[in-house]
Amino acid sequence: MLAADGTPLKKSLARALRMQKMRALMLIAPLLIFVLISFIIPIGSMLFRSVENGIVAETLPLTVAELQNWDADSGELPDEPLYAAFVTDMVAAIEAKKHTRLGTRLNYEQTGMSSLFRKSGRKIKRMDPATDGPFKEQLIKVDKKWGEVETWAVIKAHSVKITNGYFLNAVDMQRTPDGAAPQPEDKRILIKLFQRTLIMSLIITASCIMLGYPVAWILANLPARTANVLMILVLLPFWTSLLVRTSAWKVMLQQQGVINEVLVWIGLVADDARLVMINNEFGTIVAMTHILLPFMILPMYSVMQTINPSYLRAAKSMGATNWTAFWRVYFPLSVPGIGAGSILVFILAIGYYITPEIVGGTKGVFISNRIAYHISSSLNWGLAAALGTILLAVVLILYWAYDKIVGIDNVKLG
């Protein structure tokens, strides 16, 4: 069969299809490239940074090579060649002003390293690697830490270019020459923080379900006119700035805040025994439940709207009590809405930063606050990236589940 221009129809059709595909891709391409460059690559760079550790090997190349020959378990100090190599490296590093950065890097693993490198730097600067040897005694005189096996063990453990050290740190372990080992008791905070993030997100999700279900039900079952008016009460918080809602909760919850004032005014609480509702877990849970509640109500509502009310009437006409009809007929039909809302709320909750930061104090903060702390205050970017990667993995798993249950295409807004 031939098309109008004489080419076989099959070929002509294939060409048309190809053209169509090309055109669709051309339309998509600009955005895809934009998202890839300005979003996917940054995320990728974060993933890379969580394992990247070139600084030791770059700053102390000769030392790292020498360290291969030294066994940290032997309990003996390295020999003179290593010290000589170290001084050579350090002199070069001091010239390039890189030794303090290395000190800062190693300080994340063992406190005192930063000052050790800075202090020794000033002395080593005056040495000449070619003539001033032997260095072992000299270095130990500069700082007795150079005469400790532990110092060299730390350098050796972190001399690899691709490290799992940050991930180990992120789960309260540390990298030693003999492999992974748990952190000392007093430095173990991150696992606890992960647990708290998960538990509090679960509590927030559960309270959103409990508060959201009745509201979604009543919105879906009222006459459309009334439901639309009530919907405004759900959508207004949804559209209001996050900062506004967080500051509102700060105003409500603080000791001199609105809730306490009202309780004191009507005499339920004594003036000197005001409730502590902010800067703890309670504050975070209440504020975040309020902020995330619309994300629970909207998916539930859209599912409940599709449930035919005659099912309930049918169940009741066949003798089911109110409760049985609800529990055996309505509730199972509304479960997809609960699932969609819960996953959405949970994903949003575990990555929250602003609200816990403002109303959470020290007891109500999440893992994301720790990430921000490492980015802006402690500057341990590798650890921040590792924590972020773990969080991302959790979110992606949940997202995958969300896709299975609801489908990405079915995400609706407003």
Partner 1 sequence: MAALTPISRKPMSLVLPTVAAAGGFFGLFVGTANGSGLLGVLIGAALAVVLALVYVSVLKNEALSKWINIALFGVLGYVFGGGIAPAIIGLVYGWFIHWFTYWLYEGRYRARLLPYLTPGQVLWHYSFRVICGAIFTFLITPILVVMPLSFNAQDFFTFTPEMLRLDPAGYSLKHYQDFFTNNEWQRSFKNSLIIAPIATVISVSLGTLAAIGLSQSHVPGRRAIMAVMISPMIVPLIISATGMFFFYSQIGNWMEGTLGFNKTFVGYVKVVLAHAVLGIPFVIITVTATLVGFDRSLTRAAANMGANPVTTFFRVQMPLILPGVISGGLFAFITSFDEVVVVLFVGSASQKTLPWQMFTGLREQISPTILAVATILVAISILLLATVEMLRRRSERLRGMSPS
Q: Name which of residues 289 to 308 contact partner 1 (CB under 8 A).
A: 290, 293-294
Instruction: Tell me how far apart the 2 most distant CA atoms of the chain are, in Å.
Output: 102
- Let me know: does 314 contact 320? Beta carbons within 8 Å: no
Told to check if 115 binds partner 1 by CB under 8 A, we report no
Rounded CA gap, 281 and 279, in Å?
7
User: Which secondary-structure segment (H or E) carries 176?
Assistant: strand 173-176
> Within 10 Å of residue 186's Cβ, how many Cβ atoms?
6
If you search the block for the tokens 């969580």, which residue do you land on? 50
The stretch among 57-65, 75-83, 229-237, 276-284 that binds partner 1 (CB under 8 A) is: 229-237
Q: Pairing state of beta strands 179-182 and 173-176?
A: antiparallel
Told to check if 27 binds partner 1 by CB under 8 A, we report yes
Taking residues 145 to 164 in sequence order and writing x for each that binds partner 1 by CB under 8 A, - otherwise, the string is --------------------
Q: Which one of 2, 14, 43, 335 is in contact with partner 1 (CB under 8 A)? A: 43
The stretch among 22-30, 137-145, 153-161, 271-279 that binds partner 1 (CB under 8 A) is: 22-30
Q: Which one of 224, 273, 308, 318 is in contact with partner 1 (CB under 8 A)? A: 224
Q: Tokens for 157?
A: 């453990």
SS3 20: helix
Told to check if 44 binds partner 1 by CB under 8 A, we report yes
Site for partner 1 in 256-295 (CB under 8 A): 256-258, 261, 265-268, 290, 293-294
Nearest alpha-carbon partner for 168 in 182, 158, 178: 182
If you search the block for the tokens 């004594």, which residue do you land on? 270
Q: For the CB of residue 84, give the shortest distance to partner 1 in the complex, in Å.
A: 36
Q: For the CB of residue 113, give the shortest distance to partner 1 in the complex, in Å.
A: 23
The stretch among 73-81, 142-150, 214-222, 328-336 that binds partner 1 (CB under 8 A) is: 214-222
Q: Which residues contact 393 (CB under 8 A, 6 or more apart)?
A: none
Rounded CA gap, 155 and 147, in Å?
13
Q: Which one of 254, 279, 334, 380 is in contact with partner 1 (CB under 8 A)? A: 254
Q: Which one of 372, 379, 401, 405 is in contact with partner 1 (CB under 8 A)? A: 372
CA dist list (Å): 238 to 234, 303, 351, 406 = 7, 19, 18, 21
What is the Cα 324 distance to its own chain's centre? 42
> Within 10 Å of residue 73's Cβ, how many Cβ atoms?
9
If you search the block for the tokens 């050790």, which residue do you land on? 116
- Locate the DSSP E strands across 26-118: none
If you search the block for the tokens 């060299």, which residue do you land on? 152
Q: Which one of 2, 25, 189, 199 is in contact with partner 1 (CB under 8 A)? A: 25
The DSSP output letter for 165 is H
Q: Which one of 249, 295, 301, 346 is in contact with partner 1 (CB under 8 A)? A: 249
Q: Which one of 181, 242, 314, 335 is in contact with partner 1 (CB under 8 A)? A: 242
Q: For the CB of residue 132, give the shortest distance to partner 1 in the complex, in Å.
A: 38
Q: Tokens for 92?
A: 């070069």
The stretch among 80-88, 99-107, 111-119, 226-234 that binds partner 1 (CB under 8 A) is: 226-234
Is the CB of 114 or the CB of 289 nearer to partner 1? 289
Is the CB of 69 or the CB of 226 nearer to partner 1? 226
Site for partner 1 in 300-359 (CB under 8 A): 322, 347-348, 350-354, 357-358
Q: Which one of 93, 340, 385, 406 is in contact with partner 1 (CB under 8 A)? A: 385
Nearest alpha-carbon partner for 290 in 234, 367, 216: 234
Rounded CA gap, 243 and 247, in Å?
6
Q: For the CB of residue 366, give the shortest distance to partner 1 in the complex, in Å.
A: 9
The stretch among 72-80, 126-134, 247-255, 334-342 that binds partner 1 (CB under 8 A) is: 247-255
Q: Which one of 92, 235, 307, 333 is in contact with partner 1 (CB under 8 A)? A: 235
Is the CB of 115 or the CB of 317 nearer to partner 1? 317
